[in-house]
C-alpha cells in the first residue's frame, strides 16, 4: 500500500517543538487565510455562562492579563464532531429571514436581486457544489433529511433480501445508529438478527480493521449477502477504509455496498462516481460546518438512479418489483423506494394527480420539501468549500495531522502516558487522531484542556479524538494543543499517584 513520506523526518526535536516552527509553517500555508472565514470562539466565549459571544477585550486595564488571556482564541480541534460556524452563515440566514419576512410564500418562487435562490429550487442550486465535495455527478447527489433517516431510505431501496441473499455485513464497532438501522432493516423484512454479520479484527479489542480482514469476511459470506454497509472513516479510530477496493470486491461478488460518510465528507477527497459506489449518506455538521443536526446528504450512483419508460415486450414478469405506480399508458421503470411528493418531477408536483414520476438521479429519493433554513446553512458551508478544492485541503490535512502525530510522539517524559490508535499510515486516516490514554487519566486531562480553552472530544473510557480541520486549524493550534495536553497528562498522573498514596498504595 502507498505510504506518504514523513514530512518532518530529519528535523530536530527542539526545532519541531518550537513555537517558531509552527509559526513558520502557518506562514507557508497557502490555505491559512481560510481560517478568517470562521468564527473561532475565544476562551472567554467558551467560559461565558450566557449564550453568545463574550465582549471582546480592547483595553487590558488593571486586570488585563487574565482578561486578555480569555480573549485569546480557543484551540478548537473538534471538527470531527461539530464544525465551527462560517462567518457567512449568519449573513445567509439573515437573508433567509428577511426573505421570509418580506415575501412570505413568494420566497418559494421569486428570483430576488442579491437574494438566495428561490426555496423551491434551493436543492438544485447546491447540487453542483455538494457533488464536488464527494466526487459525484450533480445528478447523483441531493441534500436532504438526516444521516440515519437517509441510510434507512437508501436501504429500503438497496436492501432487497431474497431466500438466497439476505445478510447485511457491517463492522463490529459500527456507530450505534448504523448498527440499529441495519438490525431494524432485517426485522422489517422478517429476517432473523443472526443475518447481521459484524466484521471484527483479530484480536477483537484492536481498533484496526485490515483491508484483508474486511475482504475475507465479505468473501466468506458472499453467496448469502445482500448488502454491505461500512463507514468511509471509522468514528472511533479515525481509520480511513479503502472505499474503492472494498466496493470493487463487493461488486465482484454481486453484493451491493453503501457507505456512511459522516467522518469522511469534507475531510478527505472522495470519488464516489468513479469508485462505482452504489449509495452513500452523510451529515453536514462535522467537517462540513453546516450547523448542529443540519440537513444531510446522499449519493445514488447514476446506474441506479435511472428512470426509464418500460418496453412493452418486457412484460410484467421482467419488470417484477421494479414497476412504478404511474397509471398512465406509459409505465415507468425505476429502482423501488419509499416515496414522497418532493421526489416526483417538479412539473408534476403541484398537479396533485397522484402519479409519481421520480426525478432521475438522487433527487428522486426526496420525500418532503426541505427546510430552507437548513439548506441556507449548508449553502454557506459549501460556499466556503468552493474557495478551495478537496485536493488542496487534503494536502494541508496530511501535513497538519503528520505534524500533530510527530509532536505527540515527542515526549517530555520518559514514557508516553498514551498511544495513538489511528493508523500511522497517512493514506489510512483523515484529519483525526484518536489517542488512548493510560487508565485513570481521562477526567483530569479533559478538565484541564477545557480550563485552558482547548476543545477535543472524548470517547470513554480512555480515548480523546483530536481533529485538526484544514479549513480553519493552524500549526499554532496544534503546537498549543500538544503543550497543554502533555502538561495535562503530567498533572493527571500526579493526581493518580497522590490518590494512590492517600489510599495507602505504593506510589
Ligand atoms: C458514523 C456516524 N454515523 C451515524 C451518525 C448519526 O447521525 P445522525 O444523528 O445525523 O443520524 C453519526 C453521528 O455522529 C456518526 O458519526
User: In this structure, are residues 108 and 93 in contact, taking their beta carbons and an 8 Å threshold?
Assistant: no
Q: 283 C-alpha vs ligand 1 centroid, how far in Å?
A: 7
pLDDT the model gives residue 314? 54
The answer to the question of whether 176 is labelled as a binding residue is yes
Whether ligand 1 lies within 6 angstroms of the CB of 231 is answered as yes
User: In this structure, are residues 261 and 134 in contact, taking their beta carbons and an 8 Å threshold?
Assistant: yes
Positive or negative: CA dihedral 275, 281, 287, 290: positive
Whether ligand 1 lies within 6 angstroms of the CB of 171 is answered as no
Nine cell digits for residue 2: 502507498
pLDDT the model gives residue 411? 79
Nine cell digits for residue 432: 483525526
- Kindly give the confidence (pLDDT) of every residue in the chain, 507 residues in length, as a single tens digit, with 9 standing for 90 and above: 556 678 998 899 999 999 999 999 999 999 999 999 999 999 999 999 999 998 876 655 555 566 677 789 999 999 999 999 999 999 999 999 999 999 999 999 999 999 999 999 999 999 999 999 999 999 999 999 999 999 999 999 999 999 999 999 999 999 999 999 999 999 999 999 999 999 998 888 899 999 999 999 999 999 999 999 999 999 999 999 999 999 999 999 999 999 999 999 999 999 999 999 999 999 999 999 999 999 999 999 999 999 999 877 655 554 444 445 444 457 999 999 999 999 999 888 888 888 999 999 999 999 999 999 999 999 999 999 999 999 999 999 999 999 999 999 997 777 999 999 999 999 999 999 999 999 999 999 999 999 999 999 999 999 999 999 999 999 999 999 999 999 999 999 999 999 888 887 554
Whether ligand 1 lies within 6 angstroms of the CB of 229 is answered as no
Whether ligand 1 lies within 6 angstroms of the CB of 285 is answered as no
Q: Which atom, in ligand 1's list, is nearest to the CA of 234?
A: 1
Q: What is the 3-state secondary structure (H, E, C) of 273-310?
A: CCCCCCEEEECCCCCCCCCCCCCCEEEECCCCCCEEEC
SS3 143: strand
* Euclidean distance between CA atoms 161 and 320, whole angstroms: 15
Where would I find the H helices in 410-462? 442-451
Domains by residue range for the chain, with CATH: 13-30+388-502 (3.90.1150.10), 104-304+369-382 (3.40.640.10), 307-360 (no CATH)
* Euclidean distance between CA atoms 333 and 11, whole angstroms: 62
pLDDT the model gives residue 319? 46
Nearest to 256 by CA among 162, 358, 363: 162
For ligand 1, atom 8, the nearest C-alpha belongs to 147
Q: 357 C-alpha vs ligand 1 centroid, how far in Å?
A: 31
> Which residues, other chains included, contact 64 with Cβ-Cβ below 8 Å and sequence gap of 6+?
57
Q: Which atom, in ligand 1's list, is nearest to the CA of 147?
A: 11
Q: 343 C-alpha vs ligand 1 centroid, how far in Å?
A: 24
Q: What is the DSSP string of 249-263?
A: HHHHTT-EEEEE-TT
The answer to the question of whether 177 is labelled as a binding residue is yes
Q: Which atom, in ligand 1's list, is nearest to the CA of 81?
A: 14
Strand order in the sheet with 196-199: 141-143, 297-300, 279-282, 256-260, 225-231, 167-171, 196-199
> Which residues, other chains included, contact 15 with Cβ-Cβ below 8 Å and sequence gap of 6+?
21
pLDDT the model gives residue 56? 78
* Euclidean distance between CA atoms 335 and 306, whole angstroms: 8
Amino acid at each position: 500500500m502507498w505510504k506518504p513520506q514523513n514530512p518532518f523526518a530529519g528535523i530536530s526535536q527542539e526545532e519541531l517543538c518550537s513555537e517558531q516552527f509552527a509559526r513558520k509553517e502557518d506562514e507557508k500555508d497557502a490555505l491559512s487565510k481560510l481560517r478568517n472565514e470562521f468564527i473561532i470562539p475565544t476562551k472567554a466565549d467558551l467560559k461565558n455562562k450566557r449564550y453568545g459571544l463574550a465582549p471582546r477585550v480592547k483595553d487590558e486595564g488593571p486586570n488585563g492579563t487574565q482578561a486578555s488571556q480569555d480573549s485569546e482564541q480557543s484551540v478548537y480541534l473538534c471538527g470531527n464532531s461539530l464544525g465551527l460556524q462560517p462567518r457567512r452563515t449568519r449573513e445567509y440566514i439573515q437573508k433567509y429571514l428577511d426573505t421570509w419576512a418580506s415575501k412570505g410564500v413568494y420566497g418559494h418562487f421569486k428570483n430576488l436581486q442579491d437574494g438566495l435562490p428561490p426555496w423551491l429550487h434551493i436543492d438544485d442550486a447546491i447540487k453542483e457544489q455538494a457533488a464536488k465535495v464527494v466526487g459525484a455527478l450533480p445528478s447523483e447527489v441531493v441534500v436532504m433529511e438526516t444521516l440515519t433517516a437517509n441510510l434507512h431510505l437508501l436501504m429500503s431501496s438497496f436492501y432487497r433480501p431474497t431466500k438466497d441473499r439476505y445478510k447485511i455485513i457491517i463492522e463490529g464497532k459500527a456507530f450505534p445508529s448504523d448498527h440499529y438501522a441495519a438490525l431494524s432493516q432485517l426485522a422489517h423484512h422478517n429476517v432473523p438478527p443472526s443475518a447481521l454479520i459484524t466484521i471484527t479484527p483479530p484480536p477483537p479489542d484492536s481498533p484496526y480493521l485490515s483491508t484483508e480482514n474486511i475482504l475475507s469476511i465479505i468473501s466468506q459470506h458472499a453467496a448469502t449477502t445482500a448488502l454491505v454497509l461500512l463507514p468511509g472513516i471509522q468514528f472511533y479510530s479515525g481509520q480511513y477504509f479503502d472505499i474503492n477496493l472494498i466496493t470493487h470486491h463487493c461488486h465482484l461478488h454481486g453484493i451491493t455496498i453503501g457507505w456512511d460518510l459522516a467522518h469522511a465528507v469534507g475531510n478527505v477527497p472522495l470519488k464516489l462516481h468513479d469508485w462505482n459506489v452504489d449509495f452513500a449518506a452523510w451529515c453536514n455538521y462535522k467537517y462540513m460546518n453546516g450547523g448542529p443536526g443540519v440537513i444531510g446528504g446522499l449519493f445514488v450512483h447514476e446506474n441506479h438512479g435511472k428512470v426509464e419508460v418500460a418496453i412493452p415486450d418486457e412484460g410484467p414478469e421482467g419488470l417484477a418489483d421494479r414497476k412504478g405506480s404511474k397509471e398512465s399508458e406509459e409505465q415507468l421503470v425505476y429502482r423501488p423506494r419509499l416515496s414522497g411528493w418532493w421526489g416526483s418531477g417538479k412539473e408534476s408536483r403541484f398537479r396533485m394527480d397522484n402519479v409519481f414520476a421520480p426525478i432521475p438521479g438522487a433527487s428522486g429519493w426526496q420525500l418532503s420539501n426541505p427546510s430552507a433554513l437548513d439548506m441556507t446553512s449548508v449553502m454557506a458551508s459549501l460556499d466556503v468549500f468552493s474557495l478551495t478544492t478537496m485536493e488542496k485541503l487534503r494536502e494541508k490535512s496530511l501535513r497538519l495531522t503528520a505534524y500533530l502525530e510527530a509532536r505527540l510522539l515527542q515526549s517530555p517524559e520518559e514514557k508516553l502516558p498514551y498511544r495513538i490508535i489511528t493508523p500511522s499510515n497517512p493514506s489510512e486516516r483523515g484529519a483525526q487522531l484518536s489517542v488512548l490514554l493510560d487508565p485513570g487519566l481521562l477526567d483530569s486531562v479533559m478538565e484541564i484542556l477545557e480550563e485552558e480553552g482547548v476543545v477535543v472530544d472524548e470517547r470513554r473510557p480512555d480515548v480523546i479524538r483530536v481533529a485538526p480541520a484544514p479549513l480553519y486549524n493552524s500549526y499554532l493550534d496544534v503546537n498549543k494543543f500538544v503543550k497543554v495536553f502533555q502538561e495535562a497528562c503530567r498533572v493527571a498522573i500526579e493526581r493518580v499517584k497522590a490518590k494512590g498514596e492517600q489510599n495507602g498504595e505504593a506510589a
